Every structure is written in structure tokens, then in C-alpha cells.
Chain A
Amino acid sequence: AQKVTQAQTEISVVEKEDVTLDCVYETRDTTYYLFWYKQPPSGELVFLIRRNSFDEQNEISGRYSWNFQKSTSSFNFTITASQVVDSAVYFCALSDLVRDNYGQNFVFGPGTRLSVLP
């Protein structure tokens, strides 16, 4: 069965520190997609990134970077030089091709609450 684990329930860092949020997934399918969403205190869910299972290249977008490793079934998210505005709950999600075609698109992890202190 598909599953997403985010073992870190809450993380607190001081501004300008780097922080990595872990995501470990389980799926039996060879074609799948991984996502990260951000939920700031205002409550909305903001899409950050999508990665497909055939592309293991790391992704960098400004202060954000993602490390996808199929060998360890992990898709970790690093924020460099964190800022107070990064404080949010971050969700990792998995969608595999079979579930996608049948519409049950996403399995979400429980989320990691990141607090960046000034």
C-alpha cells in the first residue's frame, strides 16, 4: 500500500539556519510522483514542487532544494538560510500512476510543522 512518512512532527530553528524536512514513501509502482506542499498559518495549501520517479536530479529553487533518492525512497526538502516567513506546515505527498488514473490521486504525509524563530 502507498504510504508517506514524515517522521519530524515539529522542528524549530533560528532564522538563517538551514533545515531539512524528511519524507519517506512507500509504493509498489515504478511510475509515481512526489510533491511538497506548504501550509502557512493562514491555512491555504501552496504547491511547491512535483518530481516524477524517473527523474532523480536534485532541484533547487532559490533557498529551496529537494533531494530525491529512489534507493532510500526519500524525497527530502531543504530550506537554506531560513526566514520567519518559512514558518508553516509542510506536507509531502505521493501519487502513483494507477491511483492517478483511478482518481485517488494523493496520499499525504502527516506534515512537519516548521517554526523559524527570529
Chain B
Amino acid sequence: DADVTQTPRNRITKTGKRIMLECSQTKGHDRMYWYRQDPGLGLRLIYYSFDVKDINKGEISDGYSVSRQAQAKFSLSLESAIPNQTALYFCATSTSGGKGNEQFFGPGTRLTVL
């Protein structure tokens, strides 16, 4: 089984709808992240969480919210989806910082907002 899973893998929705993307991990890592990938822009950080009680905004958090329900679960919500939120979304995990540890990514969720 994959260490980092994301559901759904694909989603098509309409403008104005509320959408939740879920991420679960079995790696036992403290840190979890949400990124979006757009062509030509690489990955950009939306939110990150050190632990269940620590959630922080990334560089493009507007229009998004998150919830860290448990160490293993980190969900991303689009309260009112808009077309420019169409993108590939990745969840990632890592161990605690200070050592430049690599991030482990889920398989991604392709979201289309019509």
C-alpha cells in the first residue's frame, strides 16, 4: 500500500461548490503539506502543518483552508471553488526539519473547476 494516499484522484466540480481533498499517510511523519502544481510554475505551497496543533499558511493560501484531523490526516478545502483553482494538487509529508529531509508525495489529485 502507498505511504501517502490522496482522495479523490480526480474531481470535476462547478464554480462556487465546496470541495474537500483528503490526504492520509502511514509514514508516521509529523509534517504534512499541500501544494498545487500548474504548468510552468512548478509546485507552490498552499498550507503546511508541523503537527495536529500547528497549521501555517504557505505562499498561496487565499481561497483554501485546511484541517489536520490527526497526525496521519490532513485535508484541504476549497470553500467556493473558482476556475483558476483548476490544478494538480499534491499532499506531502516529511520528518521534522533541521536536516533537509526529503518530502514524500502522494499521487496527486487532479481538480477541474468549470
Contact = CB atoms under 8 A, between A and B. Distances in A.
Contacts of B50: 103
A43 B56 contact: no
Contacts, number: 66
Contacts of B33: 105
A9 B41 CA distance: 11
**Main SS at interface, chain B:** strand
Contacts of B56: 102-104
Interface of A: 4, 9, 32-33, 35, 37, 43-45, 47, 50, 52, 91, 95, 97, 100-106, 108-111
A44 B88 CA distance: 11
B108 A50 contact: no
A35 B104 CA distance: 12
Given A33-B100, A101-B98, A102-B56, 16 more contacts: A45-B90, A47-B103, A52-B100, A97-B98, A101-B97, A103-B49, A103-B50, A103-B56, A104-B48, A104-B58, A105-B48, A105-B97, A106-B43, A108-B43, A110-B41, A110-B42
Interface of B: 31, 33, 40-45, 48-50, 56, 58-59, 88, 90, 92, 94, 97-100, 102-108, 110
Contacts of A37: 105
Contact of A103 (B42, B48, B107): B48
B100 A108 contact: no
A110 B94 CA distance: 21
Contacts of A111: 40, 42
A68 to B, nearest CB: 13
Nearest to B9: A43
